[in-house]
Amino acid sequence: MTEDQLNAEIRESNLTYLMLAQSLIRRDKADAQFRLGLSEESADLLSMMSPAQISKIASSPMLLCRFRMDDEVVWSLLTNHNTSKVDNPATTRLHASILMAGRHAEATGAA
């Protein structure tokens, strides 16, 4: 993959992410903040952006979204690689969601 191809892929990912984020925020702001890991201020800014603004921001060569699962426990739960203790996939996904919700609360100061 060339540098130009990589930048084009990043721009496309950014545009898709921003459009999805804006749609989620406009539908249910609180739920979107939780799902996307956004602060209220960021959610407000995203919800008010015009298509031209979103397109301009998406053209950045830096990926705008990031993985919030920087914890081995969460990755293990989401991929079901550690199912020896619990054989129920729904339970492991629920546990992962609870861990991530706690981190969201900590990050936004709601805890």
Same domain, 33 and 12: yes
∠ CA 55-4-1, rounded to 5°:
125
Does 6 share its domain with 58? yes
* Of the candidates 52, 50, 51, 32, the residue with the CA atom closest to the CA atom of residue 42: 32
Same domain, 73 and 22: no
Most confident of 59-63, 65-69, 71-75: 59-63
pTM score, whole prediction: 0.66
pLDDT in tens, 3-26: 999 999 999 999 999 999 999 999
- Are 41 and 74 found together in one domain? no
Neighbours of 44 (CB within 10 A): 12
pLDDT score of 71: 64
Together in a domain, 44 and 5: yes
Range of the domain at 22: 1-66
Assess whether 58 and 81 both reside in one domain.
no
What is the mean predicted confidence (pLDDT) over 29-44?
Answer: 92
* Count of structural domains, the chain: 2
